[in-house]
Amino acid sequence: MIFIYKVPQVKGFVHKDQFPRPNLNDSLEGEIQAFLTDEDQLHTYDDLTKVNPVTPTTVLKCLQARYNARVFYTHAGCTLVALNPFQPIPDLYSVDVMKEYHCAPQPQELKPHIFIVAEEAYRNVQGQLEPVNQSLVVSGESGAGKTWTSRCLMKYYATVAASSSVVKSQDIVGRIERRVLDSNPIMEAFGNACTLRNNNSSRFGKYIQLQLDRSQLLVGASVQTYLLEKTRVACQPANERNFHIYYQMIKGATDEQRKDWKMPCGQHFVWLPNAEKTVEEDCFHETVEAMVHLGINAERQREIFRILAGILQLGNVNFSPSTDESQPCNLEEQAAELFSIPTEELQLALRVRTLKAGKQSVLKPCSQTECSMRRDCLAKVIYAQLFEWLVAFINNSICADKSMWCNFIGILDVYGFECFQLNNLEQLCINYANEKLQQHFVAHYLRAQQEEYVSEGLQWSFVKYQDNQSCLDLIEGSTVSVFSLLNEESRLNRASDCKMFRVRLEKELCDNVNISWDKFSKVPHFTVAHYAGKVNYQIQGMVEKNKDPVPPELNSLLQKSDNSLLHQIFTDKETDNMTSKGLSKVTVVSKFKNSLESLMKILHTTTPHYTRCIKPNHDCKPLTFKKEEVIMQLEACGIVETIHISAAGFPIRIPFTSFLQRYGLIAKYSNFQSESDCASKYTLSLYLSHCLDSDKHNSWVHCGRTKVFLTQSMVNLLEDQRNKILSQCAFVIQCCWLRYQRRRRQARRKSATLIQAAVRSWLVRKQVQRWNRAATVIQDTWRKWKALLKSLAEAELDDAKDLEEENVPELNPVIRERGSVQLSTLQEPVTVRGWPMGLALASAPSITVSLTATGFQKMMSVMASLNLPSRRGEYKVEPNQYTQGLASIRAQPKGSVKLHYQRSPLLYADRQPDLKSEVTGFNEILLEKTL
């Protein structure tokens, strides 16, 4: 959200050597008119520090001209001014635009954008400039665009972290990014509402810490919330709505879900006004999808929505006066059934309260007003506890372990300054938070910087500004303040009296000029002069809201609920109450004050970046600029004073030690004789002014007593020069390393070559020796085998000379005719010659076999050795004379035949062939014949 600061109008800015003259106003008016003459060029001023002179009028005219030109971001020194266009602007926040600003060498040179602020904070974390942790403070009135700006910032960091991640962690970063972004729809659905000023007004404050690891990658996030406006659950201002989640349920639920939630179509709910109005945030599907991504399963979702539906049913409960005992209340079973508690016990808890008298308990019926208050209290406490449970669940889902991250970037989005016709405790706390954040801006920038300039010896004339410390003392003072008196009144065990409380406020705080009273008003109230304007606060009901009492009967009843989520929430709450037993009662303002002080401690330890969201008109009309409303916001947030200090001051302040540690290498490695490098020139000027002449300075840099003061332009030049030198050093290191690696690689290659040559020569010698030995053995064996074969052939085979005959004499026609069988498949008989006698023959079904033998002895041997059956298909005849070796038969074998010979071709000598299988070779026939 935005914080609005009201500062008196400043007519000019002068240094000590420029004293005001009597005609200053006249000359200033002339300068203003001269500046505004060329209106066509006003929209070109992207930084308001370039405006001359700087006055509310000139600043307003420039912003109006840029707004009319559809330029919505403008630099104002250390802050960024953002004007709400109240309509979507295509491609203004696309991923391509994000990458353009992220990859730019100098993002400040691009057009003003919220991504410039985001990138500056991100680069501060990368550069490890102290303090490393960053905070982005988004401030403005309700409807100025704070929530949208926070969304854009979260999307930017999620995109930047994901784009710079390594490949192996793409899935992890994507999951974290998605969960961090999915926390927004849930938080807005349960914590935002449609008001008169804004369709998506945050009714709570949140500070989101985006957790980064050492590589500046997004590894997690955490959410811290402040002061949920839970009274809106049971009481909605006129023409405003309840929280978004209820309207999402009504418009997006299915018939089955409506039946489960006891919410039939057409049912009217008292706590659901303006249900017919539709806004962009009424997207039930998006909320449910975000719940699924965060790990809320379907059963837990059902429990959540049944609790919400039960709260709506409570709003329809009416109570009868105490005199009508027949109809105490019209409580139906829907609410009790949705809460999973007995209907009778719920009626009793709403109608009867328990009073303790010593050790005894007394039951007392409640009046009609008291019953309504107890009903509203029940609804508010259930919704508040459910919201806290959601926040805790989101943190458990997206928060990373402390060991995984080292730095963070915080995004602060809180409610804007509020002033309505009726303002109560909620508006007092909201405006108090804006006062604290305004004080942070004043202390960090408007006051601290100027005081530091003077203490460091800079010639400086103070720019006047409004310090709201007196208003903070009025609200939160340590001795007597509005909060202290309110807490004291709340802790008294008595009924509050608003008139008496007002009298006490007048008595105790009459000396503070920031508070006043209207003595003629019949309604007790008090008026506080905030930095953004005066606000009237009514006292009626303020003390009761600060007490925030929850009847113990209601807590006990909810702890007995069969709804596991409701039972868990209130059981854990009871445990927390037991641990804090004995402490003083914690009120709403004391709890809110403590949480806000912890937030301020975090902000003081980080580097803040301010974004001022401006609301061009209160009607939220697109591209409508109302000067009166804009000028009030500019004066309230101190834009003019900020521009003055930014234009004349030095936003960057670095201690000497840190400066020399970071930029000393420029003086070491740069050539100061060269006038072309202005960064080196200014670095030399820094050293000279520090060591020789402390009064020497220029408009970009100044050396104080303990720090170096720099403008952003000077820092950019120094960073550029430093990056160049680091690049040169890195290049030299890379060259040396590459040369070393190359030499080492060459030496290793040479050594490897020598080793390989020696090993290969040894291997070749060994291999040749083995070959020689093997060849000798083979030759000897071959000679022996040849000789043996020759001897066997000479001894066993007769008529071997017939093998040498090339032309076999033609067979006798009679023998050929008688020794051949003609098959139907072949027209001519096929003659197969078998030689020598050991040739194995068999008949095949598809071939005609003709056997020719020369000599009576051979013919008789063959006929005696072979028994050719008359059946066809039993054997297959294949000649094996040259492929399977030789075999000899002297006589018909008797008994078992086993032939053994080294390297023998008789492969089947020891096998018994199957008669039904194809048999090849003469040896198998011999085995068969011996059976």
Average pLDDT rounded to a whole number, residues 779-804:
73
Q: Lowest-pLDDT range, 350-359, 379-388, 389-398, 527-536?
A: 350-359
147 is in an annotated binding site: yes
CATH 1.20.58.530 domain position(s) in the chain: 433-548+587-597
**pLDDT tens sequence across 92-150:** 999 999 999 999 988 888 999 999 999 999 998 988 777 889 999 998 888 888 889 99
Average pLDDT rounded to a whole number, residues 711-734:
84
Whether 609 shows a pLDDT value over 50: the answer reads yes
Q: What is the rounded distance in angstroms from the CA atom of residue 893 to the CA atom of residue 905?
A: 19
Q: What is the rounded distance in angstroms from the CA atom of residue 284 to the CA atom of residue 292?
A: 13
Checking DSSP bridges between strand 407-413 and strand 205-212, what pairing results, if any?
antiparallel
Q: Lowest-pLDDT range, 269-273, 417-421, 655-659, 828-832?
A: 828-832
**pLDDT tens sequence across 845-885:** 434 444 555 555 555 555 555 544 444 444 444 444 434 44
Give the pLDDT score at 330: 55
Looking at domain 433-548+587-597, its CATH class is mainly alpha
Whether 925 shows a pLDDT value over 70: the answer reads no
146 is in an annotated binding site: yes
Report field, pTM of the whole predicted structure over 0.75 = no
Whether 10 shows a pLDDT value over 80: the answer reads no
Question: Comparing C-alpha atoms, which of 426, 434, 419, 632 is closest to residue 536?
Answer: 419
CA–CA distances in Å: residue 329 to residues 288, 308, 347, 368, 613 = 35, 21, 8, 9, 48
Give the pLDDT score at 885: 41
Give the pLDDT score at 852: 53
Q: Using 50, 70 and 90 to split pLDDT, how confident is the model at 51?
A: confident
Give the pLDDT score at 299: 94
CATH 1.20.120.720 domain position(s) in the chain: 284-392+549-577
Whether 173 shows a pLDDT value over 50: the answer reads no
143 is in an annotated binding site: yes
Question: Comparing C-alpha atoms, which of 252, 245, 250 is closest to residue 228?
Answer: 245
Q: Using 50, 70 and 90 to split pLDDT, how confident is the model at 914?
A: very low
Checking DSSP bridges between strand 79-83 and strand 607-614, what pairing results, if any?
parallel
Highest mean pLDDT among 36-45, 255-264, 433-442, 912-921 belongs to: 255-264
Q: Is 485 exposed, middle or buried (0-12, 13-18, 19+ CB in 10 A)?
A: middle
Cis peptide before 22 (omega within 30 of 0): no
Pick the CATH number of 284-392+549-577 from 3.40.50.300, 3.30.200.20, 1.20.120.720, 2.70.98.60: 1.20.120.720
Question: Comparing C-alpha atoms, which of 337, 533, 362 is closest to residue 438?
Answer: 533
Q: Is 490 exposed, middle or buried (0-12, 13-18, 19+ CB in 10 A)?
A: buried
What is the phi-psi region of residue 277: left when phi exceeds 0, alpha when psi lies from -120 to 50, beta otherwise? beta
Whether 285 shows a pLDDT value over 80: the answer reads yes
704 is in an annotated binding site: no
145 is in an annotated binding site: yes
Q: Using 50, 70 and 90 to split pLDDT, how confident is the model at 618?
A: confident
Whether 653 shows a pLDDT value over 50: the answer reads yes
Whether 225 shows a pLDDT value over 50: the answer reads yes
Is the CB of residue 6 less than 8 Å from the CB of residue 635?
Answer: yes
**pLDDT tens sequence across 496-516:** 788 888 888 988 998 889 999
CA–CA distances in Å: residue 632 to residues 5, 43, 55, 249 = 10, 21, 13, 39
Highest mean pLDDT among 244-248, 615-619, 701-705, 898-902 belongs to: 244-248
User: Exposure pattern of 349-358 as b/e (b: 16+ CB <10 Å)?
Assistant: bbbebeeeee
Instruction: Say which residue, 342 or 458, is predicted with more confidence.
Output: 342
Give the pLDDT score at 898: 42
Q: Is 862 exposed, middle or buried (0-12, 13-18, 19+ CB in 10 A)?
A: middle
Average pLDDT rounded to a whole number, residues 283-305:
93
Give the pLDDT score at 807: 53
Q: What is the mean pLDDT of the chain?
A: 77
Determine the angle formed by the axes of helices 56-68 and 639-648, rounding to 10 degrees.
Answer: 100
Percent of the chain at pLDDT > 70 equals: 73
DSSP-derived 3-state class of residue 925: helix
683 is in an annotated binding site: no
